[in-house]
Amino acid sequence: MEVKGLNKPVKLKADLAAFVGKSELPRLEITKKLWDHIKANKLQAKTVNGRPEGAGKFIVADEKLLKLFKNTKVTSKSSGKVTDFTGLQSGQTIDMMQLASVVSANIE
């Protein structure tokens, strides 16, 4: 039986492979490993770069995540909107809903 969708292993680019310790993983596992790191290091914020917003829906870029975030410059296929984190600095935040864009930008 062929594995499809989010459970199908994908090839990881170098920075993500170094982060998770594997060269291939399913998207679901990648996202889980990112969240494990975010929660273990208390990188959820209630503010976007200091401005009060939703409850914990922002992810603070630490040095490990920053490498992955800076690889992210993708265009949405549905809306055409560009997500560009190439200029992000340590301590700045991204919306947790943008984590899928980060994963997409860091796989082959």
pLDDT digits (tens, 9 = 90+) for 5-21: 888 999 999 999 999 99
Pairwise CA distance, residues 3 & 40, whole Å:
30
Pairwise CA distance, residues 3 & 19, whole Å:
24
Pairwise CA distance, residues 7 & 25, whole Å:
8
pTM over 0.95, yes/no: no
pLDDT of 31:
95
Domains of the chain: which residue ranges? 7-105
pLDDT of 74:
87
In the predicted structure, residue 43 carries a pLDDT above the cut 80? yes
DSSP state of 96: G
Pairwise CA distance, residues 82 & 80, whole Å:
6
Pairwise CA distance, residues 20 & 4, whole Å:
21
> Could you name the CATH architecture of 7-105?
Orthogonal Bundle (1.10)
Read off the pLDDT of residues 46-102 as tens digits, 9 standing for 90 and up. Answer: 776 665 555 578 899 999 999 999 999 988 888 898 999 999 999 999 999 999 999
